[in-house]
């Protein structure tokens, strides 16, 4: 087994359910799943609708707009790889389409974050395969 290098950040590993999602991010789109049966919109891809259990889902790009539903500011790095990032703000963002997603703020001082602050998606390419969806102040 390969030893974990704690100075490097862990990256997500796309699987069959999430390949389209990660491909979308590489092309600057956050894809949400829309259920054609009950019209539920879900973030975080899976094979079936979390509302009705149906499997007639289609990917559509999000507008990228949202607002801060909740947040916390991290002052103590969870590991050596995050040391250079602190302090940083972890946001629970309510997307304009409805789903909520967790990510981090980029491009402004974490001390400026407020509830209901308008944010927009920022695409942070961290490797050839992985672009992370983050948020900046709108
Ligand atoms: Zn549904």
46-66: average pLDDT:
95
pLDDT in tens, 95-108: 999 999 999 999 99
CA dihedral 101, 12, 112, 96 (to 10 degrees): -30
Where does residue 108 rank: exposed (0-12), middle (13-18), buried (19+ CB within 10 A)? middle
Residue 1 has pLDDT above 60, yes or no: no
**8 A C-beta contact, residue 6 and residue 79:** yes
Domain ranges of the chain: 19-137
- 53 CA to centre of ligand 1 in angstroms: 6
Helices of type H across 27-80: none
Ligand 1 centroid–CA 111 distance in Å is: 38
* pLDDT at residue number 7: 81
pLDDT at 42 over 50: yes
Q: How far is the CA of 121 from the centre of ligand 1 (A)?
A: 25
**Centroid of ligand 1 to alpha carbon of 43 (angstroms):** 13
CA of 94 to the centre of ligand 1 (A): 19
Q: What architecture is the 19-137 domain classified under in CATH?
A: Beta Barrel (2.40)
- Which residues have C-beta within 8 Å of that of residue 84, sequence separation ≥ 6? none
Q: What is the pLDDT of residue 34?
A: 97
For range 3-25, the mean pLDDT = 83
How far, in Å, is the centroid of ligand 1 from the Cα of 28? 26
Distance CA 125, CA 40 (A): 29
Q: What is the whole-number distance in angstroms between the Cα of residue 52 and the centre of ligand 1?
A: 4
């Amino acid at each position: 087994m390969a030893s974990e290098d704690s100075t490097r950040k862990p990256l997500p590993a796309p699987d069959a359910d999430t390949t389209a999602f990660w491909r979308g991010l590489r092309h600057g789109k956050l894809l949400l799943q829309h259920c054609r049966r009950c019209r539920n919109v879900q973030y975080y891809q899976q094979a079936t609708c979390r509302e009705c259990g149906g499997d007639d889902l289609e990917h559509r790009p999000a507008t990228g707009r949202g607002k801060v539903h909740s947040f916390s500011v991290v002052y103590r790095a969870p590991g050596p790889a995050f040391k250079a990032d602190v302090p940083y703000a972890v946001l629970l963002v309510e997307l304009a389409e409805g789903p909520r997603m967790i990510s981090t703020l980029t491009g402004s001082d974490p001390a400026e974050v407020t509830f209901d602050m308008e944010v927009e998606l920022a695409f942070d390419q961290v490797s050839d395969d992985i672009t992370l969806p983050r948020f900046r102040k709108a």
